[in-house]
Amino acid sequence: MKRSTVERLAPWITTLALLMLWQLSIMAFHVESFVLPTPIEAIEQIYTNRYPLMVHGLATLGTTLLGFAFAVVFGLMLGILVGSFRLAYVSLYPILIGFNSVPKAAIIPVLVIWFGVGTVPAVIAAFLLSFFPVVVNVSTGFATIEPELLDVLRVLGATRRDMIVKIGIPRSLPFFFASLKIAITLSFVGTVIAEIIAGNNGIGNLMLIASSNFNVPLVFAALLVVGVMGVGMYAIFAALETRFTSWSVRGAGLGVEYAAGG
């Protein structure tokens, strides 16, 4: 087989192998399905509950994307601010680190007191979990600009705005796209946690109801759906990354072929 074919098939084969390992170990150790279902049972549940899973899955996807969109806009602005002004960096970074160390699950009950049960706390949770990597990456992109690059513009009498637009932003794009791939997966985590704690729809809510009915196979079916949505969004942003920052990827780094995540 050609090398590119192998690479295209590798993720599928690995996934399939892990599912088989899961299936075989449950058969070998006679685990009850209300403790841990087999993947086949979980996939059966996806089929039988396809309509509720689709409705709740789309709700979760919508909530996640909304929170993620806020995170991208806010994270980008804050990252540029923190990355280009020393004073902003010094004064904001400790707060950001401290804030990100707080477990977000602990904040959700407070959000419920403020905004009630439903979509709003889930959007906020998705936002809170995912903006931090965007800020850190974008500000790193800005803070690591080679001083000579800035000197080139500075001797021409460029304004700070010129330097941000002509150098800072394009220079940080690879960092930005890398952070999007992390942020989108964290967004899903935030949404599902909020839905479990305080949702009235969404995959998390469906999982909560399923587990209180001891329908563990359905819980796993829901987890698989979230996982697939996460991989799908990741692939989209990985493709955008290759499209917009091809200049930063010249070829195999460290002997590892560059994979677009697909």
CB of 73 to other proteins, least distance (A): 22
Please give the size of the binding site for other proteins, defined by CB under 8 A.
21
Q: Determine which residue in the list 171, 219, 221, 234 makes contact with other proteins, applying CB under 8 A.
A: 171
Residue 146 C-beta: closest distance to other proteins, Å? 7
87 binds other proteins (CB under 8 A): no
Of 167 and 186, CB closest to other proteins: 167
Report in angstroms how near the CB of residue 172 gets to other proteins at its nearest.
11
247 interacts with other proteins by CB under 8 A? yes
Nearer to other proteins, 195 or 241 (CB): 241
Does residue 162 touch other proteins according to CB under 8 A?
A: yes
Closer residue to other proteins (CB): 92 or 149: 149
* 149 binds other proteins per the rule CB under 8 A: yes
In the complex with other proteins, the residue whose CB is nearer, 120 or 150, is 150
Could you say whether residue 19 binds other proteins (CB under 8 A)? Answer: no
Position 253 contacts other proteins (CB under 8 A):
no
- If one asks whether residue 166 binds other proteins (CB under 8 A), the answer comes out as yes
Q: Count CA within 13 A, CB hemisphere, residue 10.
A: 11
